[in-house]
Amino acid sequence: MSVRNFITARTKILCVIGHPIKHSMSPIMHNAAIQDLGLDYLYIGFDVPSNKLKEAIKGLKTLNIQGINVTLPHKEKAIKFIDKVDEIAQKIGAINTIKNEDGFLIGRNTDAEGAKKALLDAGCEITGKNVVLIGAGGAAKAISYSLASDTNKTTIINRSEDRAKKLVRELKSKMDLNIEFKKYSEIILKEEIINADILINATPVGMFSTIDISPVSKKALHRDLFVFDLIYNPLETQLIKDSKEIGCQTLSGLDMLVNQGALAFEWWTNRKPNLELMKLRIIEYLGMK
């Protein structure tokens, strides 16, 4: 038996922080990759309420946690509490990954690249297309940044007008983009979807207590849509189920999760993980629930 099968005082710790965190599949996929490569690491989850975020990040630095994933609702606020943010993450205004280099915390955003790769791998044509994006949080920021320069038009629809307008202003100030905001209503959403090629849900609607709810009325969908729901637990949200019934091409958030996780993993460890293994372990786990 290899000594790497044991957790010792030398084992390096990786983690994910968010609130709530018990739904996260990151420990499943990262520990699978760690075991596959025989690395002396362990990946765990920490539930960190928003009012404890600064203290938590300071504690993770003090404890010499090697790598940190950042999930809802901390992707934007976490920027304030780390030492350096890379150029792409600065433009996006959100991070999802932190690397601890001898007590110096560096933030990146691997969501943007992970989402774009997931869409392209699924056969979704992005160039020149019209995108409707529901939501204006950290994940929406990353998606907007990664896609908007290739698309014909991106429309961000959100209940909070101030939040979405701020996102559009930030993106336009950093890049020459055809991007606009519309305040959420069922009528507005339906009107925008009529001329859309790609529909993306970047809200939590469809998970937790809203598992039987879709952010989009089934009547608003049309079969020429490519529907991308960033939620991965459950694998089939109500939006995905409705879209399949209409005849849309669909994509869950699982591939984005694995892609962004693999980029973070390689950054932390300097080793390329097996993406298919990471994805398989999550599917196996969800199938047992």
Contacts 24+ apart (CB under 8 A), 211-214: 211/237, 211/238, 212/238, 213/238, 214/238, 214/239, 214/242
pTM of the model: 0.92
Q: Where in the sequence of the chain do the CATH 3.40.50.10860 domains occur?
A: 3-109+255-288
Do 159 and 186 form a contact (C-beta atoms < 8 A)?
no
Q: Which helix (H) or strand (E) holds 39?
A: none
pLDDT in tens, 22-46: 989 999 999 999 999 999 999 999 9
CATH 3.10.20.90 describes domain 112-252: no
Q: Where in the sequence of the chain do the CATH 3.40.50.720 domains occur?
A: 112-252
Cβ neighbourhood burial of 114 (10 Å; 0-12, 13-18, 19+): buried
Is the per-residue pLDDT at 1 higher than 60?
no
pLDDT band at 2 (very low <50, low <70, confident <90, very high): low
Class of the 3-109+255-288 domain? alpha beta
pLDDT in tens, 142-151: 998 899 889 9
Strands (E), the chain: 12-18, 41-47, 67-70, 84-85, 97-101, 104-108, 130-134, 153-158, 179-183, 198-201, 226-229, 249-251
pLDDT in tens, 76-88: 999 999 999 999 8
Share of the chain above pLDDT 70, in %: 98
Residue 237 CA from chain centroid, whole number? 16
Q: Which of 175, 1, 5 is nearest to 91 (CA)?
A: 175
Tokens of 277: 């293994």
Q: What region, left, alpha or beta, does residue 179 occupy, with left being phi > 0 and alpha being psi -120 to 50 degrees?
A: beta
Is the per-residue pLDDT at 186 higher than 50?
yes
pLDDT band at 3 (very low <50, low <70, confident <90, very high): low
- The number of beta carbons lying within 10 Å of the beta carbon of residue 212 is 9
Q: Distance from first CA to last CA of the chain, Å, rounded?
A: 31
Q: Which of 52, 54, 61, 75 is catalytic?
A: 75
pLDDT band at 289 (very low <50, low <70, confident <90, very high): low
pLDDT (0 to 100) of residue 4: 60
pLDDT in tens, 122-169: 999 999 999 999 999 888 989 988 998 899 999 999 998 888 888 888
Residue 218 known to be catalytic: no
